[in-house]
Amino acid sequence: MMDANQVIEAFKTKTSSLLVPTSLVPTTSATATSSVAPIPTVVPNKPTIEQVGETGTKTLWVVFVVMLLSTLVFAFLSFRVPVQKRLFHVITTMITLFATISYFAMATGDGNSYAEIVIKEAHKHVPDTVEYVYRQVFWARYVDWSLTTPLLLLDLALLAGMDGASIIVAIVADLIMVLLGLFAAFGSTEGQKWGYYAMACVAYLVIVYLLVVSGRRAVSAKDNKTAKLFASIGGYTLLLWTLYPIVWGIGDGARKWSVDSEIIAYAVLDILAKPVFGFWLIFAHASSNPQSIEGWWSHGLSNEGAIRIDDDGA
């Protein structure tokens, strides 16, 4: 993690030559040829530091506790059902487990760095000005999303019974979306930020298409109760996921929100998209008499593929 003081010191080093007028440098009789010293053309503004405050830190700790308790509850519920019916329990437990680790890292001051944003303003009659903004970005959040959002998609895909090709494409599109969001957060210019952001939105539209078209087609072959559950919980998930890029655009993108406001917004969305989603899926699916999953999931590889040697050594 880069401390805010280190950011300021780096800025001073970068701009020190511009901040010291040459008229202050002692001259000798050999060098003093003029009474007028050169004047700096641009005096850069003091860098702006945007970082987490007390409210944001408290929010991170609260969400850490929520995720930890949810993980323990999901793990307890997993052991109450036979392994044949434990698939959604296991996936959902891993989702909140990864989120627990991520929020612990962010709450303890780890998993973040500062993105440098350069703002240049052109003027007609005076020299152009340059402003440096250093905004704290929690990259641990993107690591969390790169692990948890594919698992969320897997929950929905397995509920609907989607084909393997659609599942793989959806997960790859999801990873691309998260990585592009990370690149956008650390973009140093407006063109970089919004370019990566636009590509991430295209990847998200691929996910929406696969869930809406392929997912609905697949779940239509199942019973009516499962179809209704997929439609409701899938629509709920897509609604929440649509809010994430909006929060990003207001926060990291346009910087209209403080870092604390951004943390609070993401905290609410993460709780709704992970623990609330998990409890809804597990209890609703359990009430619909879920099918048992046999084979490797329940019994391992067993004796399939084993080499058998007869007693006589033949």
In a domain, 62, yes or no: yes
In a domain, 240, yes or no: yes
Which pLDDT belongs to residue 53?
92
Q: Return the minimum-mean-pLDDT range out of 80-94, 163-177, 190-204.
A: 80-94
Which pLDDT belongs to residue 131?
80
Q: Which of 136, 74, 37, 106 is nearest to 283 (CA)?
A: 74
In a domain, 314, yes or no: no
pTM score, whole prediction: 0.79
As a whole number of angstroms, the distance between CA 292 and CA 294 comes to 6
Q: Average pLDDT for residues 212-241, to the nearest whole number?
A: 92
Which pLDDT belongs to residue 287?
72
State the pairing for strand pair 48-50/129-137: parallel
% of the chain beyond a pLDDT of 90? 56
pLDDT for residue 237 is more than 90: yes
Domain count, the chain: 1
% of the chain beyond a pLDDT of 70? 76
In a domain, 310, yes or no: no
As a whole number of angstroms, the distance between CA 214 and CA 119 comes to 44
pLDDT in tens, 26-42: 545 444 445 555 544 55
3-class DSSP assignment, residue 72: helix
> How many other CB atoms are found less than 10 A from the CB of residue 248?
20
In a domain, 18, yes or no: no
pLDDT for residue 75 is more than 80: yes
Average pLDDT, the chain: 83
* Residue 303: band (very low, low, confident or very high) from pLDDT cuts 50, 70, 90: low
In a domain, 17, yes or no: no
pLDDT for residue 58 is more than 90: yes
pLDDT in tens, 97-111: 999 999 999 999 999
Q: Which residue has the higher pLDDT, 244 or 35?
A: 244
pLDDT for residue 78 is more than 50: yes
As a whole number of angstroms, the distance between CA 48 and CA 253 comes to 16
* Residue 9: band (very low, low, confident or very high) from pLDDT cuts 50, 70, 90: low
Which pLDDT belongs to residue 269?
97
As a whole number of angstroms, the distance between CA 253 and CA 7 comes to 20
Which pLDDT belongs to residue 66?
97
Residues 220-235: b if buried by 16+ CB within 10 A, e if exposed: eebeeebbebbeebbe
End-to-end Cα distance, the chain? 64
- Residue type at 125 in one-letter notation: H
Q: Which residue has the higher pLDDT, 146 or 310?
A: 146
pLDDT for residue 270 is more than 90: yes
Which pLDDT belongs to residue 292?
62
The CATH number of whichever domain residue 123 belongs to comes to 1.20.1070.10
In a domain, 21, yes or no: no
Which pLDDT belongs to residue 143?
96
3-class DSSP assignment, residue 43: coil
In a domain, 44, yes or no: yes
Domain housing 284 = 40-290
* Residue 15: band (very low, low, confident or very high) from pLDDT cuts 50, 70, 90: very low
